[in-house]
Amino acid sequence: MELLFSQYQYSCHKRVLYKRDELIVLKRNQTLLLEYFLLNPNDIHSKDDILDVVWQNKVVSEQVVFQTISQLRAIFGEQSIKTYSKKGYKWQYPVTKGEVNDPLLPPQNIAKNKKSPYVLYTAISSVFILLILLLASQWQTPSPQISLHLAVNDHVSDSRSKLQPSDINALSNHALFSVKTVVVPESNQQHFLSPQQAWKSAQLPQQSWLIWGDIYPSEQGVFLHYGLSKNARHWQGYTFGETAETAMLALREQLNRLHDLKFFSTSKPIRLAELQTMHTSAPSNEEVTLLLAKHLIHAKQPDIAMVHLDKLLDNEGYAQKAYRAQAQWLIGMIYKMRKQHQQSAHRLTLMSKELKQTSLWPLQHDYINTSAWLHYEQGNIAAMFRVLEEAITLTKQQQEPLAQFEFHMLYSILAKKVDNTVKQYAQLNKAQALLIEHNLSDSNKAIVYFHFALFTEDNALALPYLKRILNIPRTASNYWVLDHALEMLVTYYIEVRDFESAHALFDGAIKQPAQLLLKARVLLAQDLIDDARPLLKEAFNKARLTHNKPASLNSALALYQLAYSTPEIKREYLAFLQTNGSQQWLEQHGVTSAIALEN
């Protein structure tokens, strides 16, 4: 039977699709789902019905339905399949039946070519092309497998259930991936905090990926929190299943989707443009949507991020709790950044409700951390200390030494901010004791040394701590400490006019805008203006490209102050400062009067 719709013709017997006289190659699941829609175009089909017809007895997650429907929409247009909330999906194009013996050409082409002497030639050519395609599918060289190395550790203080070699059969028995194990010294929680450092410490071959995961049994099933890393490229997400085995199968499906989205094809860091492309290809993928929202927030586009986060909140079901909780948290963070504390507190309350029936400790950690900072910003000091003390008690009960260390450090930071010296030093000492007792990663020592440096009254006494910080591996959780330590060292060496030591801090090529600014500061202190100016311009351009607002403002201010001989350029930098700097920043840096004079 031949089914005709729009500009297409589908053969149920041969399971091939043509657009006019062009063969459209579909994957197996795309073909079965399309055929199901075309044979039942007037019905609304639930996800369960689609799973039964297309995937039959295979155990897969509902996400594969969303993905395959998205793929068909990409071929036939977004309007081809309509979504009915809580009901299912319905085919939109009118479908008519052709004769069994009709050639695979639309009716208008049949009429046009009915008396053409080239009809036979065209038919033979089409069959020949189809034969070549079928043979090519048999001859093509299979793409190389992606090498995954499962991180296995015997970290005695890490009490959580972890992915073990016995859990990876679902990944190993797959054509796309080969899975081995690698013994690593650090806990999975440390890997989530510093994935790039985890990959480096595993000493894997250059093209291999590190994978790790923690298992969280909850009220209605099992959540699996997993991470992937290859050098500077990393990913993390959650899958869910009624058992650990089905959660692993859901992980395999998600890795398949990431493979289809070309995630494994490079080791470069993920950028906003790449995520936007991935989201266009897979608009229903929660992990892509969530990471896209995070990058949009970083790119100072919070309102667009909230649109995507609201879509995540529309996803119902227990399995989606991890993503709804993260969406509520990110919306709360946006409100917090805007100083809209009441709205932020409301979103954190909603996040807490999502987490009540789960054991998702990483998300509870984010909730506690943000709540403590929110109480501080609102001036609720007693509530702030109470939240932190409850968190430390909880981490002790759950035997989470790294999380306990982090809360002691946060307690110390906030105590310093409210001038409670007793609590400040007590919490810092407890954090240091945990580092030694549990042999936590050296990357965590950066913040301890930084506080010792801040507590010293003599800047010269802080030098040993600051120098040690710069030798600590840079991670996603401690990078700001390393940046502050470098700035403090540069400032000190400029004050004492030890320029040789200041230049020695910049080893190799300088890429970060903040480091370019510091290097320029040293050169300006030496009155080497011509050497400093190109560094400031590079910092200004890179800061704008990476949405680093502080670095872009500071570099623009320095360039404005140096452009004394070119008033046109001076006005351009002044216009940038006026557009991007807050009133408080402009007044603090003496720019307000210059703007008034210019206007």
First to last CA, the chain: 76
Given a cut of 50, whether residue 585 has pLDDT beyond it is: yes
Closest C-alpha among 478, 463, 459, 555 to residue 512: 555
Tell me what pLDDT residue 374 has: 93
Report how far residue 70's alpha carbon sits from residue 30's, in angstroms, rounded to the nearest whole number: 10
Residue 431 CA, chain-centre distance (Å), reads 29
Tell me what pLDDT residue 476 has: 64
The DSSP H or E segment spanning 594 is: helix 592-598
Beta bridge mates, 88: 84
Tell me what pLDDT residue 156 has: 45
Letter string b/e over residues 376-408, b meaning 16 or more CB atoms within 10 A of that residue's CB: beeeeeeebbebbeebbebbeeeebbbbbbbbb
Report how far residue 559's alpha carbon sits from residue 78's, in angstroms, rounded to the nearest whole number: 49
- Mean pLDDT taken over the chain: 82
For the chain, give the longest Cα–Cα distance. 98
450 touches 484 (CB < 8 A): yes
Tell me what pLDDT residue 165 has: 64
DSSP, residue by residue, 355-410: HTT---HHHHHHHHHHHHHHHHHHT-HHHHHHHHHHHHHHHHHTT-HHHHHHHHHH
Closest C-alpha among 20, 3, 21, 4 to residue 12: 3
11 touches 35 (CB < 8 A): no
Tell me what pLDDT residue 18 has: 85
Categorize the per-residue pLDDT at 379 as very low, low, confident or very high, splitting at 50, 70 and 90: very high
> Crossing angle for the helix pair 401-417 and 381-397, nearest 10 degrees?
170
Tell me what pLDDT residue 200 has: 87
Q: How far is CA 445 from CA 156, 407, 436, 456, in A?
A: 20, 14, 10, 17
Percent of the chain at pLDDT > 70 equals 86
Report how far residue 105's alpha carbon sits from residue 20's, in angstroms, rounded to the nearest whole number: 5
Write the pLDDT tens digit of every residue in 29-66: 888 899 999 988 988 998 888 888 887 767 666 777 87
Write the pLDDT tens digit of every residue in 356-373: 888 888 899 899 999 999
Write the single-letter amino acid at 25: V
Q: How far is CA 211 from CA 168, 181, 247, 433, 566, in A?
A: 11, 9, 15, 30, 55
Q: Which structure tokens are listed for 59?
A: 């155990």
Tell me what pLDDT residue 278 has: 92
Q: Flag the least confident range among 19-23, 308-312, 417-421.
A: 19-23
Q: Flag the least confident range among 54-63, 123-132, 509-518.
A: 123-132
Letter string b/e over residues 276-287, b meaning 16 or more CB atoms within 10 A of that residue's CB: eebbebbbbbbb
Q: What is the mean pLDDT of residues 274-287?
A: 92
Given a cut of 80, whether residue 350 has pLDDT beyond it is: yes
Q: Flag the least confident range among 41-45, 96-100, 208-212, 312-316.
A: 96-100
Q: What is the mean pLDDT of residues 313-331?
A: 93
Q: Which structure tokens are listed for 233?
A: 């490229």
Given a cut of 60, whether residue 337 has pLDDT beyond it is: yes
Q: What is the mean pLDDT of residues 329-356?
A: 93
Letter string b/e over residues 550-569, b meaning 16 or more CB atoms within 10 A of that residue's CB: ebbbbbbbbbbbbbeeeeee
The DSSP H or E segment spanning 222 is: strand 221-230
Q: Three-state secondary structure along 513-567?
A: HHHHHHHHHHHHHCCCHHHHHHHHHHHHHHHHHCCCHHHHHHHHHHHHHHCCCCH
Q: Residue 577, by phi and psi: left (phi above 0), alpha (psi -120 to 50) or beta?
A: alpha
pTM of the complete model: 0.62
Categorize the per-residue pLDDT at 578 as very low, low, confident or very high, splitting at 50, 70 and 90: confident
Tell me what pLDDT residue 401 has: 84
Write the pLDDT tens digit of every residue in 184-237: 878 888 888 888 888 988 889 888 999 999 998 888 889 999 999 998 899 999
Write the pLDDT tens digit of every residue in 523-556: 999 999 999 999 999 999 988 887 788 889 999 9
Given a cut of 90, whether residue 245 has pLDDT beyond it is: no
Closest C-alpha among 466, 454, 389, 447 to residue 421: 454
Tell me what pLDDT residue 597 has: 67
Q: What is the mean pLDDT of residues 172-195?
A: 79
Given a cut of 50, whether residue 107 has pLDDT beyond it is: no
Q: What DSSP state is assigned to residue 140?
A: S
The DSSP H or E segment spanning 234 is: strand 233-241
> Crossing angle for the helix pair 445-455 and 401-417, nearest 10 degrees?
20
Q: What is the mean pLDDT of residues 441-456?
A: 76
Tell me what pLDDT residue 119 has: 43
Q: What is the mean pLDDT of residues 180-185?
A: 85
111 burial (CB, 10 Å; 0-12 / 13-18 / 19+) is exposed
Rg (alpha carbons) of the chain, rounded to whole number: 29
Tell me what pLDDT residue 104 has: 39
Q: Flag the least confident range among 117-131, 413-427, 498-512, 585-599.
A: 117-131
Given a cut of 80, whether residue 144 has pLDDT beyond it is: no
Given a cut of 70, whether residue 298 has pLDDT beyond it is: yes
Comparing 189 with 418, the larger pLDDT belongs to 418
Tell me what pLDDT residue 566 has: 75
268 touches 320 (CB < 8 A): no
